[in-house]
Amino acid sequence: MSFTLYGIPNCDTVKKARTWLADNGHDFAFHDFNKQGLSRDLVAGWLGQLDWEVLVNRKGTTWRNLPDERKAQITDKDSALELMLENPSVIKRPVLQGVGPVSVGFSADAYTAKFQDAA
């Protein structure tokens, strides 16, 4: 099974997901979206499966550091897409693609269930 984990390497949640995947014998590609970027088509695909409010991390530092005027402009899928392409670190991490539906965030229980369902 081929799948990709998207995130940034210094994010604690991404580190936990990567460790869980490795410890459970899952080969995966890691895509650092700050260094490797994200395509419009990729993010639009995520938004086709997940609500933009799930993908935009409004609790994170990147969101908090945005000017209030910019935050107020994020009102729908299209404006969220533009924000995520401008500031990939505003995306809730990690994003796991290729094992069932796209998922965001990490918990050992959720990953266990996701991989059992995909088997």
* Known active-site residue 114: no
Measured between alpha carbons, how far is 8 from 90 in angstroms, rounded to an integer?
Answer: 11
User: Which of 35, 83, 90, 27 lies closest to 61, judged by CA?
Assistant: 90
User: Considering 5, 11, 21, 90, which one is annotated as catalytic?
Assistant: 11
- The rounded Cα 1 to chain-centroid distance in angstroms is 19
Measured between alpha carbons, how far is 4 from 47 in angstroms, rounded to an integer?
Answer: 17
Angle (CA) 41 42 47, round 5°: 95
Report, as residue numbers or ranges, the catalytic residues. Answer: 11
